[in-house]
Amino acid sequence: MLKVIIADDHPVIRDGFSIILSTEKEIEVVGTAQNGNEAISLVMKYKPDIVLMDLYMPEKNGLEALKEIKYAKEETKVLILSSMVDEDVVIDCLSNGASGVLLKDWGTDKIIHALKASAAGQLIIPESFSSKLIGKWINQQTSPVNDIRKMVEKLEISLSNREEEVLIKVMEGKKNGDIAQELFLSVGTIKNYTSSIYKKIGVTNRDELIEVVGNNDN
């Protein structure tokens, strides 16, 4: 039985998907949300297998909620739902942990198949994007972000997922305020994470950090 949460700010769409999916014996809709914040709360409460989530919602959109859900419950699969998307949006979703992107004009059978395929580990992408987009996405996986992760491995230290995110932002030259905004955290929290990173790597400030991590890129 797949436990599913549906998040969409339009009640007709939200309730419609809920009714449709509830007819499937292998699927149980355990909750519905009308914005990203509600979706995150429901994920924490019900620990679903899959979240079917609209991309554009008030308070916290689908991409923002995706990031928080994958950070807190990495095992939960998130399928982003939208009426129309472009390549950059799809890549952004996949790069932040989405298990796929679904279009709202897909038929019922196709949506249900996508949910089951996602649960089985398949990546769900609209056919019109598939080959070209996957190639572009793979290229992004060999980006400077991945290089930074390899540098950390060479230092033989262990960082939490959040510490790694902060380190990547620091190495990109971003200030604490910018990092806090991008990760939806307070500046004080970012300072705590950077202090922890300094201690683990054995440095005392940002310049030393950049030098030590950067020098391991060889």
Q: Where residue 82 sits, what CATH number does that domain have?
A: 3.40.50.2300
List residues bridging with 78 in a β-sheet: 51
pLDDT value at residue 34: 96
Instruction: Give the chain's domain count.
Output: 2
Residues 31 and 116 in one domain: yes
25-83: per-residue pLDDT in tens? 999 999 999 999 999 999 999 999 999 999 999 889 999 999 899 988 889 999 999 88
Q: What is the CATH number of the domain that holds 167?
A: 1.10.10.10
Q: How confident is the model at residue 4 (pLDDT cuts 50, 70, 90)?
A: very high
Mean pLDDT for the chain overall: 84
pLDDT of 177 above 70: yes
pLDDT value at residue 170: 86
Residues 64 and 123 in one domain: yes
Residues 30 and 115 in one domain: yes
Which of 139, 168, 187 delimits the end of a domain? 139
Residues 97 and 167 in one domain: no
112-144: per-residue pLDDT in tens? 999 999 999 888 887 766 545 555 555 555 445
Domain hosting 164: range is 144-214
Residues 40 and 125 in one domain: yes
Residues 10 and 116 in one domain: yes
pLDDT value at residue 7: 97
pLDDT of 150 above 80: no
Which of 76, 107, 139 delimits the end of a domain? 139
pLDDT of 96 above 80: yes
pLDDT of 105 above 90: no
pLDDT value at residue 158: 76
Residues 124 and 197 in one domain: no
pLDDT value at residue 217: 52
Residues 27 and 79 in one domain: yes
